[in-house]
Structure 1
Amino acid sequence: MAPSGKKRVERLAEVLKESRALRELCWRHLWMKAMMAAALEGSLNRNKAVSTKMVCVCEGEGAQIGRNMVPSFMTEQLAEVGVNEWRVQNRVVKELMKEEIWFEPMAVVLGKGIVKSAAWGLVARVIVGAVLSMTELVTDLFVLWQYWKGVQKILKFRNASLASLTTSLVLQLILVVGQNRKKGVRRTLKEMAYVITGMKPAVDAYGVASGAEKEKDTELDPMLEMTFSKGIEMFSESIPGIIIQTSAIISYLNSGVTVLMTPYLSQAVSVLTTGYVVYFIGGDMMFYLVMKAVRGDFRY
């Protein structure tokens, strides 16, 4: 599981012993340790700007400055921009970055780690990803049904959509069979049922968000399994879906046929899902692999 806020604070004491520069900074500014500890807790708090000069900051204000770090990262996609917002809102941070050139890059790395490993951040990302995946499946099935009936009956788009969904389904089934082949027939059939019913994204999201670890006799831990599953979904369903729906819409417009809203909706959901998987799940995976290399016991 991800390190809790309490464990991150405990780790601060070890870091202070290892880092001479940070240790000296804490000696010069008594509020510095309180600021770092509050930031490392990674709790969601209301952002309250602190304009006090560095020489006048008390321990309570230092803690508030630390608590302001997470809200700054929550409103920005790039860590560097989040750090800049933290600096603008808190005079002390700005002065620290002028005084110590290493403090800003340290804050960027620190902020990335806090947001990536905080439970609330991961839960939000995996839940949104699961909702997008399930919504995409529903819209794809509805569009496929429309291709089969009425004015939307265009065989090449129907066949392409069917091939895309079938490929995604088969690859997902292969993944769960490989993952659970040593867990017995009952477990394998249950996981296959999740795939067939479209519940697999929700099941994966629950496993990752709840901090589940790799089970005995399975090949992948929950984070890796979810990442592979999302990759299959993206390359065999989302990206082909974008191409298919775009081609269908262009074909309808050229032929003068009225285009229903569902192809547009399906296309939009596929675009959102693809972007989400690449940006967030891919980012989580990179962070996971780096931490796995540094610490073999790392878990989300």
Structure 2
Amino acid sequence: MADREAIVNICWKRISEKSIVVAYSPLASHSKVENQDGGAMIRGSTQFVYLVTQMDDKTVDVTFGAHINFGGKLPSAIVNGIIIPQFVNALSQTQVHFINEIELEGLKENDGKLLGEIFVHQIKQARKRGGWKKRADLGKVGVDEFLYCSVAMREVLPLHPWLRVLLHEISMNRVKVAPTVHTALSDMKDDDAINLAKGLSTIIPSNTEASAAVDHWIAQNAALEEFEKKCAWIRPFFVELAQYNLSTSNFGLRLRVFGGALLSTIDVITDIYMTVHFFNTEGQSHFGRINAWLIGLTLFMQIFLSHLQNRTKPTIFFQDTFFTLIGFRPALDAYRVGSGAEQEDHHIVTPLQEMTFSKFLELVFEAIPSSVVQIYALLSIKEKKIDAIVSIVVSAATIEFSSAMLSYDWDTSPTNRKKQPMFYG
């Protein structure tokens, strides 16, 4: 691959009282430089534009755009694997530098998210220095490095020295029962901080969203509510920490989704068994036909949902269809959510939302109607068989579990709470 060079002209212009534009444009007036082999370098061109707007005395907003022409075709592996990541990394380092230089008084609510990302990154980097046995201690080292690098953190620690202990404990992510902390912010001690951290680690497993866990955590601890009034950035900051802990220790989420998947799968199997039983029992074939229609309608709706979700990915769609037809769709959804799968570009909803919709369809079109049919069939015969009772009990358990989880997720959803705080709290 030939050597490349680029020569640019830099100019700037003030477009308003608080905004300037800085532009880097290609300059072709200079002759090409010879490379080490004596040949001329390939002349590339770069165009960069920065829009810098002053927001207040200590904050500026920077909008950045770039167009790069390498003077020829480069392998995509080099562009996507080396060049673009270098640009992104440079921007990230710039962000980190400036956010670390902001004083405590200058931190805004939106800065908390970036601070949280830096905090998590620092912990990850620190833990790479040793094995799993040193994971806890190295996590604490990462916390201390973060607290040292940030000007705002160095200012907040003398005011709230317990914060260091709190962050140490959160980084360890130990799920233990802890009492609600009623201590006022001014009276907080290290022991209170430890209980706060344990409380967050205990709340996280029962939630599917980190923001919902933090909402719950702050609401039940008076000191945190008082702290947030003084420092609005702490909520998005702790959401990032909770998100990291949720992704690295999602036992509670996995227990929920796999438990629900197991119930749903058993429910489908027992319903199919009862459908066959109805067809083979004299005078009950009409119950079998109703059950068959309900199961078929549910499968069709779930396949249609999969089509909407993966309409541009036929391979994934056919895979989902196969698992749906053999009755293992709940297990597939549970695996995706439990393994931390994220929403891809071709998806219309997240994997968790897809699982929620699938369960809703199962409840509406199969679990509830089929239970009614089976109960009616059971009451219409004199001899009560154990297999029919087991099928009804499994369906009832599935309905109860799925309904409770759907209701809980909606009730604790931060989005719903923002839209309708009087209803969702």
Q: TM-score, normalised by structure 2?
A: 0.48
> Relative to 1, partners in 2 of residues 1:279 and 1:196: Cα closer, same or farther, differing over 3 Å?
same
For 2:340, the equivalent position in structure 1 comes to: 211
For 2:307, the equivalent position in structure 1 comes to: 177
| Cα drift, residue 168 of structure 1 | 0.4
Return the match for 1:146 from 267, 270, 277.
277
Structure 2: stretches of 5+ with no match in the other structure: 1-112, 122-142, 208-212, 420-425
Whole-Å separation in 1 of the counterparts to 2:270 and 2:187: 58
| Cα drift, residue 200 of structure 1 | 1.3
Return the match for 1:165 from 290, 295, 299.
295
Whole-Å separation in 2 of the counterparts to 1:166 and 1:218: 25
Whole-Å separation in 1 of the counterparts to 2:176 and 2:254: 20
Whichever of the two has the greater Rg, that structure is 2
Q: How does 1:183-262 map to 2 (within 5 A)?
A: 183-184=313-314, 186-252=315-381, 257-262=382-387
Q: How does 1:1-300 map to 2 (within 5 A)?
A: 7=117, 30-35=161-166, 38-39=169-170, 41=171, 43-47=173-177, 59=190, 61-70=191-200, 73=203, 118-119=246-247, 120=250, 121-150=252-281, 154-184=284-314, 186-252=315-381, 257-284=382-409, 290=415
| Cα drift, residue 73 of structure 1 | 4.4
| Cα drift, residue 233 of structure 1 | 0.6
Native 8 Å contact 2:178 2:196 kept in 1: no
Structure 1: stretches of 5+ with no match in the other structure: 18-22, 88-92, 295-300
| 3-state SS of paired residue (1:267) | helix
Native 8 Å contact 2:204 2:242 kept in 1: no
> Relative to 1, partners in 2 of residues 1:210 and 1:167: Cα closer, same or farther, differing over 3 Å?
same
The amino acid of 1:205's aligned partner reads A
Corresponding pairs, count: 261
Whole-Å separation in 1 of the counterparts to 2:300 and 2:119: 45
| Cα drift, residue 132 of structure 1 | 1.2
| Cα drift, residue 44 of structure 1 | 4.2
| 3-state SS of paired residue (1:118) | helix
| Cα drift, residue 47 of structure 1 | 3.2
Native 8 Å contact 2:204 2:246 kept in 1: no
Deviations 1:113-155 (A, max 9, x none): 959x82422222111111111011111111112212247x512
> Relative to 1, partners in 2 of residues 1:50 and 1:221: Cα closer, same or farther, differing over 3 Å?
closer
For 2:77, the equivalent position in structure 1 comes to: none
The amino acid of 1:273's aligned partner reads T
| Cα drift, residue 223 of structure 1 | 1.9
Whole-Å separation in 2 of the counterparts to 1:221 and 1:57: 39
Whole-Å separation in 2 of the counterparts to 1:42 and 1:247: 53
Whole-Å separation in 1 of the counterparts to 2:284 and 2:346: 46
Say which structure is richer in strand: 2
Question: Alignment identity in percent?
Answer: 22
Native 8 Å contact 1:9 1:37 kept in 2: no
| Cα drift, residue 10 of structure 1 | 5.5
Q: Which has the higher contact order (CA 8 A, sep 6+)?
A: 1
- Root-mean-square deviation (CA, aligned residues, Å) is 4.8
Native 8 Å contact 1:47 1:72 kept in 2: yes
Whole-Å separation in 1 of the counterparts to 2:403 and 2:372: 17
* Stretches (4+) displaced over 4 A: 6-14, 26-29, 48-51, 53-58, 70-77, 285-289
Say which structure is richer in helix: 1
The amino acid of 1:130's aligned partner reads A
> Relative to 1, partners in 2 of residues 1:8 and 1:131: Cα closer, same or farther, differing over 3 Å?
farther
Whole-Å separation in 1 of the counterparts to 2:347 and 2:172: 32
